[in-house]
Each structure stands twice: as structure tokens, then as C-alpha cells.
């Protein structure tokens, strides 16, 4: 009798076995039911709303009114923030091409100044160079005079704003009175929350001096920022699926890991990490190759002891052992890496630490070689 093994059966059983060994449930049958039910439900979700988390204390010009009330009204300190329904956005159905891009001409000096300002905005940090250029292209200039209302609380969101010059005050209506909660001067951005979450403006922002803003319309903002977030997640999920040590993670854990990665690019000969430095995170190679170098105690004899390429990773040893870097990593040609900072590493890669510790033997071998 001939039997055909269903596609994916091996991977499914392997992932289940790893999860069962890691969790060691009291009742394996109940665990199996819960595990496969969850796996089935995850496969049913084909499109999901895209969310980007913004640290309001750091950047947002539209603060949460409920949060302000909690800080200013002790009688309301147990109030709950009302829920916000996010607008569904499916990047896979967004088939816009270059012809749909909005481009407002700018001088080189304007582009340079705007690029510097955009580089400090949290929601743009995941964008690559081309996407940042799309952001700059899509922004148009808006001049302001004192007392001009840029956005008004409870209005629909239309634009996202980056400050080029001028001063601006932020007001929130609390118990019928406009309360000033924040100010901007010649720096900052605001207006993103209403665009991302399809919610009314949560504050009023007025100009207090003559100034200039750069604005980006709602559609351009969502297509560039949210679609970039979607593409980034897809790219990193595919990268992480091919990393052997991450087989110990469940699919939703890999998704969280993908969302925590940021892309960094290095040119030929540039050092990504240096031996002896403190560890700030670990790296997954997206594209290109890197060389592994070990130097002796006097640092006058450098030996290349190996090379890593796409799909491989490095930098985890110093994090695991809480020690300085044991080797230097240098770019061979142009290299793109996905960077995972220390805090996210400790939070997300707990299930993989035992496997990573076994791989420390590779580095010990490198170290031994450097002394011969």
C-alpha cells in the first residue's frame, strides 16, 4: 500500500514537538488541542488592520485627552480610555505604483533640512532610503501666522505635519475649558494619530508665531507609512523562517520578533561591531556577507576566521554571556542587516537561548585559532 505524506506535515509536527518540550504541559492532549486550534485560527487571518505604536510622551502632538484628565483631575484618576476603532487598511490590495505618487518640488537645501527633521521622527525610523524620499516628495509647504489653528480637536484628520520653523501650542478641551498641555518650537511633528487610527483630532494646535510647516496628506501618509510597515513585516518574517534557531519560536512569536527589527545598511569595509565593545543587540543578515575577525590582546594582529552570509546571524554571544564583543564583524561589499536591540532580545528570544548557548562553541573555536 502506498502512502502520500501531506505537504507541511513534518514542519507542523516538529514545531509542535518543540513547543511541547519547551512548555512541558501537565496534560499533553489538552495542550495539543489548544496548540492546533490556535494554529488553525492564525491561518484563517489573511488580512489584518495595520497598527503602529507611537510613544505619545516622546513625540505625539495630539495627546490622549483621557490621559491628560488622569494627570489633572484626581476625581477621574480611575477613568478608562475609550476604545478607538482602527480603519481597516489592506496593503496587499493597495496596488498603487509610481504614477500615483505625489511629488512637490523642493530645493536641495529644503530636502536636506527636511530629511534631517524626518530622521528623528519615530514613525519613520523603519523606512528605508527610498521610502524616506517618498515621504519628502509628498510633503508640501504651509505658512502660518500667529493664532492660526492648524488642527482642531474633534475634526477629521487631513494632514500630518512636520515643523520647519515657528512656535505652536497644544490645547485639550477638559471640562469645557481649553487647557494648554504642550508646546513646540522650531522642531517636532504632530497629527499622525488621527491618520493612523481613523479617529478625530484629539487636540487643538495653534501657531503662536509666524512659521512654516511641511504637511503630508492622509492618503500619502497611509500608503507610505502603513504599507512600509506591512512590507517590513513580510520581509522579516520570511527571513526569520529560514533561521534554524528560531524554529523553537511559534509563529506569533516570530511575528513579534519581526516587528521589533530595524534595517541597517553598511558599505564595504565598515565595521558593524568591534571586538571589546559593549553589546547593544544582535544582527540577522538580510543581504550580503560579513567577515569575522579576531585580534590578540595587543590588537596588532588581526585574523579573519570566518564569513557569514544571508540568513545567518551574529552578535548574540555577548548578550547571552553579558560580556564585551568577542569578535569584530566587518561588511564584505554592501550589507543589509536586521538589528534587534538588547531589550527586545531578552524579551523575545527566551525560548532560543539554550540553542544559542550551544553555538558559543563556534566562537571559542575562533578564539583558539587566533592564539596559534
Annotated binding site for 3',5'-cyclic AMP: 192, 201, 316, 325
DSSP state of 106: -
CA distance 23 to 26: 9
Binding site, by residue number, is: 192, 201, 316, 325
* Spatial separation of the C-alpha atoms in residues 367 and 66, rounded to whole Å: 56
Write the CB contacts of 363 (distance below 8 Å, at least 6 apart in sequence): 317, 326, 327
Q: For the chain, give me the number of helices (H) and strands (E)?
A: 13, 14
Residue 315 contacts residue 273 (beta carbons within 8 Å)? yes
End-to-end CA distance of the chain: 59
Three-state secondary-structure class, residue 233: helix
Q: Is 224 left (phi over 0), alpha (psi -120 to 50) or beta?
A: alpha
* C-alpha–C-alpha distance, residues 202 and 172, integer Å: 7
Q: Identify the residue whose cell numbers are 520570511.
A: 238
Q: Which residues contact 69 (CB under 8 A, 6 or more apart)?
A: 76, 79, 174
- The C-alpha cell at 224 is 507610505
Task: Of 283, 328, 321, 285, give the one whose Cα is nearest residue 304.
Answer: 328
Amino acid at each position: 500500500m502506498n502512502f502520500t505524506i501531506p505537504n507541511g506535515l513534518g514542519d507542523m509536527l516538529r514545531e509542535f514537538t518543540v513547543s511541547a518540550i519547551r512548555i512541558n504541559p501537565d496534560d499533553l492532549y489538552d495542550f495539543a488541542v489548544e496548540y492546533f486550534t490556535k494554529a488553525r485560527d492564525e491561518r484563517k487571518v489573511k488580512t489584518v488592520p495595520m497598527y503602529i505604536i507611537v510613544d505619545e510622551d516622546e513625540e505625539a502632538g495630539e495627546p490622549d485627552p483621557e490621559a491628560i484628565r488622569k494627570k489633572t483631575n484626581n476625581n477621574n484618576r480611575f477613568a478608562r480610555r475609550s476604545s478607538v476603532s482602527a480603519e481597516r487598511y489592506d496593503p496587499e490590495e493597495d496596488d498603487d505604483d509610481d504614477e500615483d505618487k505625489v511629488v512637490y518640488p523642493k530645493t536641495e537645501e529644503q530636502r536636506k533640512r527636511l530629511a534631517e527633521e524626518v530622521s528623528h521622527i519615530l514613525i519613520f525610523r523603519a523606512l528605508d532610503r527610498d521610502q524616506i524620499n517618498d515621504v519628502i516628495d509628498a510633503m508640501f509647504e504651509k505658512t502660518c501666522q500667529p493664532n492660526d489653528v492648524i488642527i482642531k480637536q474633534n475634526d477629521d484628520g487631513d494632514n500630518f505635519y512636520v515643523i520647519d520653523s515657528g512656535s505652536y501650542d497644544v490645547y485639550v478641551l477638559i471640562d469645557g475649558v481649553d487647557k494648554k498641555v504642550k508646546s513646540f518650537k522650531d522642531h517636532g511633528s504632530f497629527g499622525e494619530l488621527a491618520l493612523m487610527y481613523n479617529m478625530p483630532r484629539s487636540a487643538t494646535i495653534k501657531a503662536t508665531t509666524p512659521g512654516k510647516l511641511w504637511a503630508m496628506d492622509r492618503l500619502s501618509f497611509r500608503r507610505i507609512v502603513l504599507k512600509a510597515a506591512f512590507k517590513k513585516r513580510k520581509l522579516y518574517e520570511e527571513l526569520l523562517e529560514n533561521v534554524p534557531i528560531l524554529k523553537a519560536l511559534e509563529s506569533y512569536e516570530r511575528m513579534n520578533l519581526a516587528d521589533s527589527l530595524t534595517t541597517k545598511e553598511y558599505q564595504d569595509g565598515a565595521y558593524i561591531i568591534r571586538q571589546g565593545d559593549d553589546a547593544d543587540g544582535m544582527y540577522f543578515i538580510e543581504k550580503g556577507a560579513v567577515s569575522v575577525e579576531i585580534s590578540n590582546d595587543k590588537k596588532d594582529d588581526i585574523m579573519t576566521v570566518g564569513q557569514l552570509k544571508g540568513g545567518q546571524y551574529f552578535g548574540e554571544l555577548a548578550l547571552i554571556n553579558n560580556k564585551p564583543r568577542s569578535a569584530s564583524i566587518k561588511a564584505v561589499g554592501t550589507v543589509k542587516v536586521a538589528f534587534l536591540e538588547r531589550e527586545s532580545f531578552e524579551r523575545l528570544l527566551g525560548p532560543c537561548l539554550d540553542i544559542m548557548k550551544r553555538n558559543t562553541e563556534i566562537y571559542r573555536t575562533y578564539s583558539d585559532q587566533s592564539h596559534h
